[in-house]
Amino acid sequence: MSTGNMNLTLKVWRQKNNNTKGALVDYKLSGISPDMSFLEMFDVLNEDLINKGEEPVVFDHDCREGICGMCSMFINGRPHGPKDLVTTCQLHMRSFNDGDTIVVEPWRAAAFPVVKDLTVDRSAFDRVIAAGGFISVNTGNAQDANNLPIPKMQADAAFEAAACIGCGACVATCKNASAMLFVSAKISQLALLPQGQPERYRRVQSMVAQMDAEGFGNCTNTGACEAECPKGISLENIARMNRDFATSKFISEETV
């Protein structure tokens, strides 16, 4: 890893577990390269801490390629930092200046309890998916893809919704800690395709009910989620979910 000449002050949220109170702790870092990713900068910090015999900062990460949805830092008041359409792992230190103070906090939401330091438990998202974010199919060979004609626009919109990596930036940045963008993307990716139709109106009812049960807040259409989403998931998905929800409650005769 290259060394560099950036000197930074980090204010990092340290919290032992969900039962204890956390606090911001100051760390001085020097010799940081502008080519490092934000997570590599944290690796340097953790090496320092380990060498000094202190507890390293716990943070979520996996692929470091911007596609897995694990990394999750709230950097200087924004999820995944100052750049649009990137995850924390794809954020580089050249986006900051020498001498900067950087405040790093975990996602904050009642539905995302802190596990330790910057790591939060996002299994609420898994339970929302499990409530209906799937299609039921018979086992056996998949039929030929061309048997199901899908208009290009429809396929593109479904694909764009499916780009959601479930990182939780939408919840983190929403002033109400609402999960509407995530849930609507997971509903839309199926509602837009023929395979999703049989369970379309059961799905929206079950997933919205689970979303509410997890304790996420209510959407006030500020649009912060769309602006901060590293995958550019659109607010159109939320409107589609609302439409489908209204249809499921007032037109469909099937109530879940």
Partner 1 sequence: MSGFGNAFSSSIGKKFIMGITGLFLILFLIVHCFINALIFINDGGLTFNIGAHFMATNWLIRAGEVVLFIGLLVHIFQALRLTLQNQKARPVKYAVNDGKANSKWYSRSMGLLGTLLLIFLVVHLKDFWVVSRFTGIPTVDANGHEDLYAVMREKFQDPVRVAVYILAMFSLCYHLLHGFASAFQTLGWNHSKYNGIIKGLGVWYSIIISILFAAMPIAVYAGLIN
Q: Write out the residues near partner 1 by the rule CB under 8 A.
A: 11, 13, 24, 74, 76-78, 82, 103, 105, 108-111, 173, 175-178, 180, 205, 208-209, 211-212, 215-224, 227-228, 235-236, 238-243, 245-246, 249-250, 255-256
> Considering beta carbons, is residue 48 or 236 the nearer one to partner 1?
236
> Considering beta carbons, is residue 58 or 209 the nearer one to partner 1?
209
Tokens representing 36? 């490092």
In the complex, minimum distance from the CB of residue 214 to partner 1, in angstroms, rounded to a whole number: 10
Spatial CA neighbour of 124 closest among 68, 44, 186: 186
Residue in the structure block whose two tokens are 């589609």 = 240
In the complex, minimum distance from the CB of residue 1 to partner 1, in angstroms, rounded to a whole number: 28
In the complex, minimum distance from the CB of residue 208 to partner 1, in angstroms, rounded to a whole number: 6
Tokens representing 127? 């339970």
In the complex, minimum distance from the CB of residue 144 to partner 1, in angstroms, rounded to a whole number: 32
> Considering beta carbons, is residue 64 or 80 the nearer one to partner 1?
80
Q: Residue 199 has what DSSP assignment?
A: T
The dihedral sign for the CA sequence 194, 195, 197, 200:
negative
Q: What dihedral do alpha carbons 153, 157, 159, 160 form, nearest 10°?
A: 130
> Considering beta carbons, is residue 90 or 234 the nearer one to partner 1?
234
